Chains A and B, each alone.
Chain A
């Protein structure tokens, strides 16, 4: 088992997240309006930022996959979409936990919430789609197309729902927030980013290996490999 660079990223991520949360939970003052409940900010906001970054990565990977048709890009689409869906799911979960004591409800139809929910379904569907296609080249094309369309759709959905009503917090700029709160937030965000890089890279390596084996198996007139991703019964 050779040492890989993403392990450093993972460890660094864990360290930064831990440090950021220690400061967020014990050092930073409670939020003026929400009190201690507001401390979820240190995990919620990084999750949101990094989740969107992961989708951006998936979008770039999808363009690369369509352009080159290489397995490496395809594996990156797979990895980043899956990690993105996980982060997105976590985001909704944390948001609901926070919304109940603050807004009085777990869920409300606000642009940001609606867009997040739409994203989790849209990208989750791509994960399902990939499982349903056995043929590697077709899986590459179709999942890349679906990823591009889903990503382009995110800002549109956001705009469309925005004119209904807005309840979600507006953007806070660092100038208006005490540095004892900004620093842990930034640290936690970078930690989350490193964690994401570690997860995506690890998943990408698995993907490259599996998709590569699949392509090799397709070249040989052998019975279908049990490792193939087409998990359809």
Chain B
């Protein structure tokens, strides 16, 4: 656990020190949202209806950039070798990295919310806690397989292409459940369906975090 926390702190520190890249990432999410609302047009009811989907598309597209960077910083300076030579367990490395990615994605998701309120005139007729939990579980469900795949492709030539190609089919269930729960929180939830979607998200998270944690050791050794 201490190793996990050390990796986690290290990653967040790197992000903090290179704040310009973080800002760039946030601008990217912003531009995605802008383009989506332009593409849909000025029909405000459609924008309002699909605001939850736009949040997650923005988070998903930004996540490929964010996850790719998470291991590139290690590979570029040969730091990964040093990390592996040190007494760091692969599982600790995975959970530290994945947690750091999760926090960043959560941050990114949080800042998109005011943006969709402004751009799409999104409303909150459901419960706010549903929104919060959906955001937390959704980004966590992205972070775990994302970190695994980012580690896999860190040393490949065409990794910018490979990461979304591998990751996007995988996170379809997370996307479905997260969009649904978020949209229920935004548009109101008269049938009380949100909880079922959140439980579903929780299950995906358990499966992904366990599976990725188990397989990560093999990936990083190769």
Contacts and interface: CB of A to CB of B under 8 A. Distances in A.
A217 interface: no
Given A145-B218, A149-B148, A160 B173 contact: yes
Nearest to B219: A145
A118 B176 CA distance: 13
A41 B75 CA distance: 51
A146 B222 contact: no
Interface string B191-214: 000000000100010010001100
Interface stretch (A86-94, A135-143, A179-187): A135-143
Contact of A150 (B156, B157, B170, B200): B170
B204 A156 contact: yes
Interface stretch (A18-26, A125-133, A201-209): A125-133
Contacts of A119: 169
Nearest to B204: A156
A165 to B, nearest CB: 12
Contact of B157 (A122, A152, A159, A232): A232
B172 A114 contact: yes
Nearest to A132: B156
B177 interface: yes
A148 B148 CA distance: 13
A132 B155 CA distance: 10
B222 A132 contact: no
A133 B162 CA distance: 11
A149 B157 contact: no
Interface in B147-162: 148-149, 152-153, 156-158, 162
B74 to A, nearest CB: 16
B110 to A, nearest CB: 24
B117 interface: no
B166 interface: yes
Interface residues of A, number: 31
Contact of B165 (A121, A142, A145, A156): A121
Nearest to A120: B169
B84 interface: no
Contact of A129 (B166, B177, B222): B166
Nearest to B173: A160
A218 interface: no
B46 interface: no
A153 B174 CA distance: 11
B107 interface: no
Nearest to A123: B169
A157 B172 contact: yes
Nearest to B197: A163
Contacts of A114: 172
Contacts of B222: 137-138, 140-142
Contacts of A142: 152, 219, 222
A132 B161 CA distance: 11
Given A121-B165, A132-B157, A152-B211, A160 B172 contact: yes
Given A141-B218, A145-B152, A145-B215, A129 B173 contact: no
Nearest to A140: B222
A66 interface: yes
B158 to A, nearest CB: 6
Contact of B207 (A125, A129, A133, A156): A156
A218 B105 CA distance: 41
Given A132-B158, A142-B152, A125 B165 contact: yes
A142 B145 CA distance: 14
7 contacts: A122-B169, A129-B162, A141-B219, A141-B222, A142-B152, A146-B152, A160-B172
Interface of A: 66, 114, 118-119, 121-122, 125-126, 128-129, 132-133, 137-138, 140-142, 145-146, 148-150, 152-153, 156-157, 159-161, 164, 232
Given A142-B152, A156-B204, 8 more contacts: A118-B169, A121-B169, A132-B162, A141-B221, A156-B173, A157-B173, A160-B172, A160-B173
